[in-house]
Amino acid sequence: MTKQIVIVVDSIDVNDSSGSKANIALIKNLAAIGYSVTVMHFTQKDIHLNGVACILIKEKKYNILYFLSRTQRIIQRYFKINLARYLEPIFGFSFTFFNDINSIKAVLKKLDVSKFDLVLTLSKGASFRPHYAVNKLPILHKKWMAYIHDPYPFSCYPKPYDWNEPGHKQKQLFFESLSKHAKHAAFPSKLLNDWMGSYFPNFNNTGIVIPHQSFEEEPMNFEKPNYFDSNKFNLLHAGNLMKQRNPEGLIKGYKLFLENTPEAKGNSQLLLLGNADYHKELINKYTVGLSQLYVQLTNVPFNEVYWLQKQVSVNIILEANSEISPFLPGKFPHCIAANKPILHLGPKHSETKRLLGEHYEYWTEADNVEVISIIIEKLYNEWLLSSKTMCLNRSDLENYLGKAYLKEQLEKVFGND
């Protein structure tokens, strides 16, 4: 009999974040491997996915929490007073968070649990609203798989990401409770499973690895970007450059490459696409006098980015300078599917490095300018010789990020229940 999976998720809007992209890929692949999938989502707009029953969870309005949340927003917008720093140490979370939880719980309480074999919660960023809602409904716990996409709370992040945000003690208690109540915990990376298990030991017993998924994106018509020249040696970094992901080493390395290989000045380009508020001034400074650096520091539509990832010469994965990076970047499956060489800039002890392999040649730390320039020069010379055939050729990773391995992991879960 076909297994029935109900998924509770913040958003299924592919353009709102890398987390939503990863969640949609997982949802699509669960349906593709034969499971009957129902998605209950809090996107706040009507979205449909092929082969999946999608149910919109509407925000509850006209209640005290909704009123308080909107009042808090108005005070912050017009008076520039951030009440969260005073309220969240007391309550742990925002009024908006609690109202969203109540909205999700109200719908889940109507769920006929007997009809489903698995209740899967997915989230993005630091939200974990679906997880909090299901954690408050004991009737769902025996069928609950909590997907933990990132460390939580921020006090459990590795350096340099870690900090004690308002309400961190309550957030830690929430995750302690989650770790004990969820029948299964799933993580996109082995290192993240191990990392979170060091804070919440029960994850060492319940955790399995379900990596971010690769999936066949439906072709979409869009205007090809005029900033892309397919005749050039193109290196692409697409994605959010948050504070900890400093692109200066990459830019300096590329600049040094051009100095050492002046003939590349006319036929190469470094593309930086995505939000980079913290590094905006730094990046714009480098664009002066470096015409080969193209930047678009805003959110770029996913279909445009995915098309570019398949067209460029090299895709770049940039991580923070740290001792460990347990994250599996949401764009990792897209880079593998693009089948182009990956320039990985990050710590040696990282999930990306673990998957690419100990001896992967296009890797160095994000601030190692000289080695970055050497790797880019090596890639450039390979491009000169065989621009049409430069491929990553990692069928092992394609399998790991695809339907076969996902099916294998889910069958283990159903077989043990």
Cis amide leading into 225 (omega within 30): no
Q: State the pLDDT at residue 219.
A: 58
Which DSSP string do the residues of 180-235 spell out, in sequence order?
HH-SEEEES-HHHHHHHHHHSTTHHHHEEE-PPPP--PPP---PPPTT--TTSEEE
321 within 8 A of 348, measured Cβ to Cβ:
no
Q: State the pLDDT at residue 77.
A: 87
Phi (first) and psi of residue 283, to 5 degrees: -65, -45
Fill in the DSSP letter of residue 350: B
d(CA 342, CA 91): 44
The pTM score is: 0.94
pLDDT tens string 1-38: 899 999 999 999 988 888 999 999 999 999 999 999 99
Q: How far apart are the first and last CA of the chain?
A: 15
Please say whether the dihedral angle defined by the alpha carbons of residues 380, 385, 391 and 394, taken in this order, is positive or negative.
negative
The angle that helices 280-287 and 248-260 make with each other, rounded to 10 degrees, is: 10
Q: Which of 287, 268, 6 is nearest to 134 (CA)?
A: 6
Report the chain (417 residues): mean pLDDT per 10 consecutive residues. Answer: 96 90 96 97 94 96 92 88 87 94 97 96 96 98 98 95 92 98 99 99 98 79 89 97 97 99 98 97 96 96 93 98 96 97 98 98 98 99 90 97 97 88
Q: Which of 158, 149, 161 is nearest to 199 (CA)?
A: 158
d(CA 302, CA 296): 14
Which DSSP string do the residues of 312-339 spell out, in sequence order?
SSEEEEE--SSS-B----TTHHHHHHHT
Encoded tokens for 76: 């912050």
**Burial (CB count <10 Å: 0-12, 13-18, 19+), residue 126:** middle
Please say whether the dihedral angle defined by the alpha carbons of residues 304, 310, 311 and 315, taken in this order, is positive or negative.
positive
Encoded tokens for 17: 């974040």
b/e map 326-341, b = 16+ CB within 10 Å: bbbbbbbbbbbbbbbb
Strands 207-209 and 293-296: unpaired
Taken in order of first residue, the domains within the chain and their CATH numbers are: 4-215+402-416 (3.40.50.2000), 233-397 (3.40.50.2000)
d(CA 222, CA 165): 41
Q: State the pLDDT at residue 336.
A: 98
Strands 4-9 and 314-318: unpaired
Q: State the pLDDT at residue 218.
A: 63
pLDDT tens string 325-351: 999 999 999 999 999 999 999 999 999
